[in-house]
């Protein structure tokens, strides 16, 4: 099933349907748009027919100077069996040749009051959001001091309980158990909750609780950009854990790489506080302050000074 169809943009942008009503269920497969200027001049060799076509003042002014035969031919070539829509901007009149060709090919002809550039920008943003690559991850997503933290780990390790403690400490829940992730840019991942489990937390022994009802609207949000991944794992005495914070592990989701921290879990460790501090430390690193590097540099200076004293 296609994520977006022509009827979706008609509803979203309140476009006027002029002709080609039978084609409003056509799928839109790309966020790229086309302004067919060269096509108006008769060059259809590389015509991107699968894109939405925008006709602005420039295209229609040029079109008006063509002969009747050229007008009919150009519009028939413009309307193909895969073209999702042709949109006329600035509330200009659609040429009769376009309406006739659209009815034959069932290509929806739409009209918008917006200027072509503004319409193009809004359409592109909407389509990029809807057509972005998506995936789902088992985990919990929490907004901690403005940092989107994805908490992962095996079932029963304490992800939801940690999220509950973080919400009590004033942070905001985005999703529990299943996090839907879409890639809005090359390195931008945005997480949200499926509609069915939005604002809900599952706590073993308590069951399902509604975070917004218990803690208020300020304790939840609908979506958040993911910046940091924290993986909770049961403490392994045979494993060497990073004690300085110099090693930076990465986790790849879709095409983006995120900083990943592995936090061992055992009785007595306050995971909520640790994750809270991890988020604050992540913000500090993005601002250029790295405590681990500063400590290492100071240690190296002390060692070097000690070596000089021996001489």
156-210 per-position pLDDT tens digit: 899 999 999 999 999 999 999 999 999 987 889 999 999 999 999 999 889 999 9
Question: pTM for the complete prediction?
Answer: 0.74
CA–CA distances in Å: residue 26 to residues 16, 30, 174: 17, 12, 33
Residue 114 token pair: 């917006």
Give the residue numbers of the binding site. 153-160, 202
- Distance in angstroms (rounded) separating the CA atoms of residues 22 and 100: 14
Which residues span the domain enclosing 157?
134-295
Q: Flag whether pLDDT at 244 surpasses 70.
A: no
Of 65, 243, 252, 266, which is the active-site residue?
243
pLDDT of residue 169: 95
CA 110 to chain centre: 28
Of 12, 72, 177, 260, the catalytic one is 177
**Domain CATH for 269:** 3.40.50.300
Q: Are residues 181 and 36 in the same domain?
A: no
Residues 156 and 213 in one domain: yes
Residue 224: which residues within 8 A CB-CB, separation 6 or more?
Answer: 141, 143, 148, 172, 174, 190, 191, 192
Q: What is the total count of domains within the chain? A: 2
At residue 309, the pLDDT reads: 59
Residue 109: phi and psi, rounded to 5, are: -105, 125
CA 77 to the chain's CA centroid: 35
pLDDT score at 23: 95
Q: Is 198 a catalytic residue?
A: no
Binding residues for Mg(2+): 160, 202
Residues 167 and 282 in one domain: yes
171 labelled catalytic: no
159 labelled catalytic: yes
Catalytic residue flag (residue 35): no
pLDDT averaged over every residue in the chain: 91
**Binding-site annotation: residue ranges for ATP:** 153-160
Q: One of 35, 49, 111, 159 is an active-site residue; which one?
A: 159
In a domain, residue 239? The reply is yes
């Amino acid at each position: 099933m296609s994520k977006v169809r022509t009827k979706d943009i008609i509803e979203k942008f309140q476009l006027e349907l002029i002709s080609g009503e039978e084609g409003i269920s056509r799928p839109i497969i790309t966020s790229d748009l086309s302004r067919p200027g060269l096509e108006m001049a008769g060059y259809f060799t590389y015509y991107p027919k699968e894109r939405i076509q925008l006709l602005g003042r420039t295209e229609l002014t040029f079109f008006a100077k063509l002969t009747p035969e050229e007008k009919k031919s150009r519009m028939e070539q413009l309307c193909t069996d895969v073209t999702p829509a042709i949109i006329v901007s600035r509330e200009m009149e659609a040429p009769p040749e376009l309406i006739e060709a659209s009815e034959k090919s069932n290509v929806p002809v739409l009209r918008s009051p917006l200027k072509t550039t503004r319409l193009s920008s809004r359409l592109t943003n909407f389509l990029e959001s809807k057509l972005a690559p998506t995936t789902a991850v088992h985990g919990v997503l929490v907004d901690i001091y403005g940092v989107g933290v994805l908490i992962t780990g095996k079932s029963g390790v304490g992800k939801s309980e940690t999220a509950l403690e973080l919400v009590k400490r004033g942070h905001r829940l985005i999703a529990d158990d299943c996090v839907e992730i879409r890639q809005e840019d090359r390195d931008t991942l945005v997480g949200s909750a499926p509609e069915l489990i939005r604002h809900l937390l599952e706590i073993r022994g308590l069951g399902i609780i509604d975070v917004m009802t218990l803690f208020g609207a300020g304790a939840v949000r609908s979506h958040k950009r993911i910046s940091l991944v924290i993986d909770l794992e049961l403490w392994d005495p045979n494993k060497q854990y990073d004690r300085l914070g110099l090693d930076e592990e990465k986790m790849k989701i879709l095409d983006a790489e995120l900083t990943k921290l592995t936090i061992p879990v055992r009785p007595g460790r306050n995971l909520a506080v640790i994750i809270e501090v991890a988020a604050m430390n992540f913000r500090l690193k993005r601002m250029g302050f790295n405590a681990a590097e500063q400590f290492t540099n100071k240690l190296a200076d002390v060692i070097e000074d000690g070596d000089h004293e021996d001489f």
